[in-house]
Amino acid sequence: MKRHIAPFIALLLAAFLLFGPIITYRPLMAEDSASPEIPPEINFLIQLDEFLKNNYVNEIKDLDLIRGAVKGMVESLGDPYSEYFSPKDFKNFNESTSGNFGGIGVVITSKDKYVTIVSVLAGTPAEKAGLKAGDRIVEVDGKDVSGLSTAEVSTLIKGEQGTKVSIGVARDGEKQMLKLDITRDIIKVNPIEYRILDQGVGYLKISEFNENTTENIDKALADFKKGGVQGIVLDLRNNPGGLLDQAIEVARRFVPEGPIVHVVSKEGKVQTFSSDSKPSPFKLVVLVNGGSASAAEILSGAIKDRGAGLLIGEKTFGKATVQRTLNLGILGGIKLTVARYTTPNGTDINKTGITPDIEVKSDTADLLKDIIPLKGDKILKYGNIGLEVLGIQQRLAIMNLLKAQPNGVFGPRTRTAVKTLQKKKGLAVTGIVDAAFYKALDEAVYEYLHTREDVQLRKAIDVLKQKLKSVENAA
């Protein structure tokens, strides 16, 4: 066996032994030419490897072939939740699911053509170094980052714990750029947001289930008890899921003794995860929508089936599968669907989702329902006609900046509305739609929608107050 294909064969043999005969092609050549020690399917791939290297016009790297083979095997499953990752992507994926990464501890966004710090996390290297909300990042390790996206700047700032990064910022009131040398540390992303509302009601939002979810839930519940909270609005809207064990642990804080979820293996073996807790001292209402998926559906399904609270909002996404990761070292890694799950009542919600007890549609969803997608690659001005103009008009109308019915014609009222937004966002007031305007328009629509009254949250609070009032009257 030639040395340059040994890693390739070893990997595929390991896959063959672990997962069975997953490769079903016949050998390219006669079966009697195959080595008796190697299964014909593996021999086929060895021969194909040789064929490609001997005949392809350019040089081929072994690792590229192996990664391509692994990627192809995973994609052949036709499962949207099973995925191959390159080494870099696998590292990023693990960081996102764990909630821990090497960095400095800032939340950034794009604002007025700059990557701007929105907040500085307490106790992080960024806070200790003196970075402040509102600082505009203009340089990272001596590199000018103007024009780069937030994702690109974030990648430059992140790095291994203990390494240093130089950040240059522009700060209001300072005439010169401030340069700060910061030593990176492990940053723990807190996916929990909570606050105490009026009349004994607490609001608790879980944005994802990472390694830090349960510990921060416990802090929130402790503060709720101290603050006299009697009922909680648990917001799982747009929570894409995350770690199974964290969802189960959070469920144990709200669901009384009994089943939380049933995990069903390929062979049909059922593993039930249960709660051994006493009934929660809090009355509970849970907000869900079409963005509530996977681990978020495990929690909401357990709460609904076990009668631990009421679900309010819109039908959930419908992802009832469990994935496991496999680290392949220099090859990267894979995420593979290994099981399905059902709710405590045995309901399979895959592709169907969970219907809430009380359905309340988001008014923002209605506003965006028929809006025209924007490519954002055309410069538009007075006199232009088309779908791009209509899409811009629709967005301006949502914010009440366009005082006319959108019709796809760039007329005087549209020009006035464009100028109004340009002035509001600190852009040159030209009345012409360019790249800067498209970006400002997206930001403005996002800001506008998030300042509107949340009708789903309002309904949840009203229902929860009624539940608390009923308890008081019964007492």
Residue 311, CA distances (Å) to 112, 344, 456 in order: 40, 16, 11
Catalytic entry in 294, 304, 459, 465: 294
Catalytic entry in 49, 135, 235, 305: 305
The pairing of strands 358-359 and 310-313 is parallel
Token look-up 């590229």 returns 64
Residue 278 tokens read as 């006493």
Q: Which amino acid is at 332?
A: G
DSSP state of 329: G
Distance CA 262, CA 340 (A): 8
Distance CA 140, CA 166 (A): 6
Longest CA–CA separation in the chain, Å: 85
Count of helix runs (H) and strand runs (E) in the chain? 14, 19
Is 305 considered catalytic here? Answer: yes
Residue 305, CA distances (Å) to 213, 278, 299, 383, 454 in order: 23, 16, 10, 58, 26
Distance of CA 465 to the CA centre of its chain: 32
Task: Yes or no: say if 312 and 460 are a contact pair by the CB < 8 Å rule.
Answer: yes
Q: Which residues contact 26 (CB under 8 A, 6 or more apart)?
A: 40, 44
Distance of CA 37 to the CA centre of its chain: 46
Q: What are the helix (H) ranges across 306-405?
A: 363-368, 387-398
Distance CA 111, CA 325 (A): 36
Q: Is 421 exposed, middle or buried (0-12, 13-18, 19+ CB in 10 A)?
A: buried
Catalytic entry in 319, 335, 459, 465: 319
- 298-311 CB burial, b ≥16 within 10 A, e <16: bbbbbbbbbebbbb
Is 366 considered catalytic here? Answer: no
Is 294 considered catalytic here? Answer: yes
Tell me the residue ranges of DSSP E strands in 147-239. 164-170, 178-183, 185-188, 192-196, 201-206, 231-235
Residue 274 tokens read as 């249960």
Catalytic residue annotation = 294, 305, 319
